[in-house]
Structure 1
Amino acid sequence: MHVILIAAQKGGAGKSTLAAHLSTLADREGKTLLIDTDPQGSLSFWRGRRAAETPHLTRASAHALPDVLNRARCTGVAWAVIDSPPHNSSLISALMSRATLTLIPVRPGPFDLDAVSATLAMARSLKAPMACIINAAPPLMRGERQTNAVAETRAVLTSMGVPVLPGQVSQRASLSHALISGQSVDEYDPQGRATAEIAALWQTASELARTFPRHA
């Protein structure tokens, strides 16, 4: 079983949104469990509005997480996607130690780049496999490969010695509209640009996760 954690110690990074959309893509490759450890419960709100039976969702504390993951593995779950809370270093650390891969969303901008240092330091101290995602980026104009803000963010992260996944997830209304109706963006707008960006992100992240040992 592969365990993907989406973590950032700064609030507003877009963790829950990414977790919802990525979990539906993971579910198409194998049985998937979405684990909500954020007290705000955004994913539980989304799952409650969802007509589809999958992905399954459970809420868990750091104390309960080992048992949740063990039960998931024993019941044939192939992918576990964990949404973490902000501002809770001890919980994020416990989650990282259990994850196959930690994905760290970073919005382009100085405040997010400054805040990401603590999350990176934690992952390094635990020797946890990680990669950054450039999230909520300015949408690309037709023919544009990368905006200046994204290029600068990618350069700063690279200079910090952290892997950065290619591409970006842009700030698009369809990502939020899909969640309101309990859908993923590929269900809400199959041919949209947001769907293409999320699909590309999942392909890269899932391939990277497969290069690391599975949760035993």
Structure 2
Amino acid sequence: MKTIAIISQKGGVGKTTLATALAVAAQNDGKSVAVFDVDPQASATFWRDMREAEAPAVVSVQPVRLAHMLKAAAEAGTDLVVIDTPPIAKDTAFQAAEHADFILIPTKPAVLDVMAATETFKLVKRATEPPKPSAVVVTFCPVQGREVPDTEDAILKLGATLAPVRIHSRIAYSRAQQTGLAAMELEPAGKAADELQRLYVYVCMNLYAPAQEVAE
């Protein structure tokens, strides 16, 4: 079983949107998937409550029981678990990072968000030794302007890995989230669906490909 943790020390950067969409993409790829919602706000759980389809499973998990629930998921034959974490709660982020095979750090292209991404990146490095593979993905990107390139430059200067996919500010993301869907289900041929699918492929490269192959 593989585990993705989506971590950010700032709220409103699209963690739950990415968690649920990646889970749907994996489900469409034939994998048995579960989203572990360790955020007290329970956004992923509310998304599941609105969803008509039975899969993917979304389980509200207390952080103290994360290790136990991951073990149970592996024993049940789950292929992939996506952990949706709360902002600010460093202890929970530490736990998620410790159990993850790959860590995705979403950030908006704004000063305060980049500062939060910096702290998250440092947290990830401290949480595991050696540091777990991770990447920063820029979300809510405007179509034009210097904000995104400037943000990406700042991320690279930290020594962090930058995901080669930008998640733009598109209405399909919010509409899908409000109806228990992922953007690729709401608009299968849309630009949001394409972004999410490319992000899923990138995540799979890091989860399943040999390290040398990913580096290339």
TM-score by length of 1: 0.92
The aligned residue for residue 142 of structure 2 is 138
- Structure 2 alignment gaps of length 5 or more: 212-216
Tell me, yes or no, if the aligned pair for 1:27 and 1:79 is still in contact at 8 Å.
Answer: no
Whole-Å separation in 2 of the counterparts to 1:16 and 1:156: 24
The answer to whether the 8 A contact 1:139-1:172 is kept is no
Say which SS state the counterpart of residue 161 (structure 1) adopts.
coil
Within a 5 Å distance, the mapping from 1:112-127 to structure 2 comes to 112-125=113-126, 126=128, 127=131
Q: Deviations over 1:125-163 (max 9, x none)?
A: 1222211001111136xxxxxx52211111111111000
Determine the C-alpha separation between the residues in 2 that align with 1:11 and 1:210: 29
Whether 1:17 and 2:21 are equivalent positions in the alignment is: no
Contact 1:108 1:150 (8 Å CA) reproduced: yes
- 1:143 aligned residue: none
The number of residues matched between the two structures is 207
Equivalence for 2:85: 84
The equivalent residue for 1:167 is 165
1:212 CA drift (Å): 7.1
Task: List aligned pairs for 1:1-216, cutoff 5 A.
Answer: 1-29=1-29, 30-125=31-126, 126=128, 127-139=131-143, 147-211=145-209
Deviating above 2 A after TM superposition, structure 1's stretches of 4 or more consecutive aligned residues are none
Which amino acid letter does the alignment assign opposite residue 165 of structure 1? A
Q: Within 2, Cα distance between the matches of 1:203 and 1:98? A: 21
Higher relative contact order (CA 8 A, sep 6+): 1
Distance (whole Å) between structure 2 residues aligned to residue 64 and residue 211 of structure 1: 29
CA contact (8 A) 1:2 1:100 kept: yes
Comparing both structures, which one devotes a greater share of its residues to helix? 2
Q: For structure 1, list consecutive stretches of 5 or more residues without a partner in the other structure.
A: 141-146
1:4/1:80 contact within 8 Å kept: yes
Residue identity in the other structure for 1:37: V
Contact kept? 1:34, 1:56, Cα under 8 Å: yes
What is the letter of the counterpart of residue 8 of structure 1? S
Identity of aligned residues (%): 29
Would the aligned equivalents of 1:123 and 1:129 in 2 still touch at CA under 8 Å? no
